[in-house]
A and B are shown apart, each in its own frame.
Chain A
């Protein structure tokens, strides 16, 4: 029943990558936005915001919207000096978003870490049931909640590749790691997700296994 470890997850990422639309249009929009074209900026927002917000949701939970707003303020201001194509733009925005998220988590550190972590997890809807839910109709929320259970470095690698839409090199730039490290993290993350799915068929994950991996969120982001 187990898919051969080497091909399953990689294939899933590839399949996703092939379905990604319209990078040429997005690149054109980047150029026009740099020239001040508001419609082009709207195109960029709609293309990038959902993935970025989901990425942020796993990083900062409920505050994702706020952090996303901060990110767009900065993008709106600095896009004029951005040089690059659609992929570059996605990576650039993700980098800004990640930095804003780190700032946010740093501010949050004034609170007890455990409390902050609990909040982060609490806002994930129905996490106890996520694996079970994923087996039936996989909703976006459920999928994100399951990804959020991964150790942070794996969750980030999976999100940047599968949700934000970066390749290993682009994700590596965002994370400040080598592409190889990102590939490994994504690979492990995908395997663990596959395990969660299998577990979900048998037993729902205990709360203990849910909280354990994310205890090092901030550290993992370094």
Chain B
């Protein structure tokens, strides 16, 4: 701080003032930032609330699918089970070795775990729709029996529609179950709203500029 260059010293003072320690109010957003940090770390918080309806719907469909699976697994020779319209006879039968649908219904919170509050918006493209997973399990559970007939059940209509036709169901289910329930398609979180972050000019790779997280937090 010699007095040799008064102009330079004044400039140094100016820069030091600009970089001075935090003043009143500048840290006012601390609690909000910490809350955001907490939220981002605990997947249980907001994504679950958001997908409550979907989860419940998934549970309902899954229960139905489990019942069908139970029936299908115990049906000999592919009797047109649903056509009879009475699932009640088998309703109480425990699903023979198909815990998968149940766990699939629990999947959504984990698959959307790292999503953030801000971008959660319109992305309810259900990554692997738990009910579809359940239906596929039910469908494949009848392996060896008559799929064609089983697919006539109204419960499978959504599966058929999603797959794009009865004949495409086996392929669709194979793909879905292979990729299946749980930690998969979290890439679905990388939604369009993220793009402005990652695509500005030459943000180099060493600067992971606002890239959406590729992995759900553990």
- What residues make up the interface of A, taking CB atoms closer than 8 Å to B? 1-4, 7-9, 11-13, 15-16, 19, 33, 36, 38, 41-42, 45-46, 49-51, 53-54, 65, 68-70, 72-84, 88, 91-92, 95-96, 99, 102-103, 134-135, 138-140, 142-144, 146-147, 158-159, 162-163, 165, 173-174, 176, 190, 193-194, 197-198, 222
Instruction: List the B side residues contacting A49 at CB < 8 Å.
Output: 22, 26-27, 29-30, 33
- In the A-B complex, the 4 residue pairs with the closest CB atoms: A176-B201, A8-B8, A76-B36, A3-B5
Is there an interface contact between A8 and B23, defined as CB atoms closer than 8 Å?
A: no
Q: How far is the CA of A217 from the CA of B49 in the complex (A)?
A: 41
Interface size on B, residues (CB 8 A): 54
Closest A-chain residue to B214, C-beta based?
A: A81
Q: Which residues does B use to contact A, with CB under 8 Å?
A: 5-8, 10-23, 26-30, 32-34, 36-41, 114, 116-118, 196-197, 200-204, 206-215, 217
Point out the residue from B116, B206, B209 that lies within 8 Å of A77, measured CB to CB: B116
Q: Within the complex, which residue of A7, A72, A88, A139 is in contact with B17, where a contact is CB–CB below 8 Å?
A: A139
24 contacts between A and B (CB under 8 A): A2-B7, A3-B7, A12-B8, A16-B19, A42-B30, A49-B26, A49-B27, A49-B30, A65-B29, A68-B29, A73-B116, A76-B39, A76-B40, A77-B114, A95-B203, A95-B209, A96-B209, A103-B196, A134-B10, A163-B18, A173-B207, A176-B203, A190-B11, A222-B201
List the B residue with the shortest CB-CB distance to A45.
B33
Which residues on the B side are within 8 Å of A146 (C-beta)? 14
Contacting pair B22 A46 (CB below 8 A): yes
Q: Is the CB of A99 within 8 A of B197?
A: yes
- Do the beta carbons of B8 and A95 come within 8 Å of each other? no
Q: Most A CB atoms within 10 A — which of B30, B33, B200, B204?
A: B33
Checking B39, B117, B206, B214 against A84 with a beta-carbon cut-off of 8 angstroms, the contacting residue is B206
Q: Which residue of B lies closest to A68 (CB)?
A: B29
Choose from B19, B41, B197 the contact partner of A74 (Cβ within 8 Å): B197
Q: B207 and A72: CB pair below 8 A? A: no
**CB-defined contacts of B209 to chain A, threshold 8 Å:** 92, 95-96, 99
A78 with B8: in contact, given A49-B26, A163-B19, A176-B202 (CB under 8 Å)?
A: no
Contacts of B36 in A (CB 8 A): 72-73, 76-77
* Closest beta carbon of chain A to B45's beta carbon, Å: 12
Instruction: For the complex formed, measure the closest distance between the CB of A26 and the CB atoms of chain B, giving whole angstroms.
Output: 15
Question: In the complex, are the beta carbons of A194 and B17 less than 8 A apart?
Answer: no
Q: Closest CB-CB distance, B22 to chain A, in whole Å?
A: 4
Contacts of A2 in B (CB 8 A): 7
* Contact residue among B12, B34, B211, B215 (Cβ-Cβ distance under 8 Å from A12): B12
Closest to B16 in A: A16
**Do A80 and B217 have beta carbons less than 8 Å apart?**
yes
Residue of B nearest to A83 (CB): B208
Contact of A193 with B29 at beta-carbon distance under 8 Å, contacts A8-B5, A78-B211, A92-B209 already known: no
A176 to B200, Cβ gap below 8 A? yes
CB distance A165 to B8 under 8 Å? no
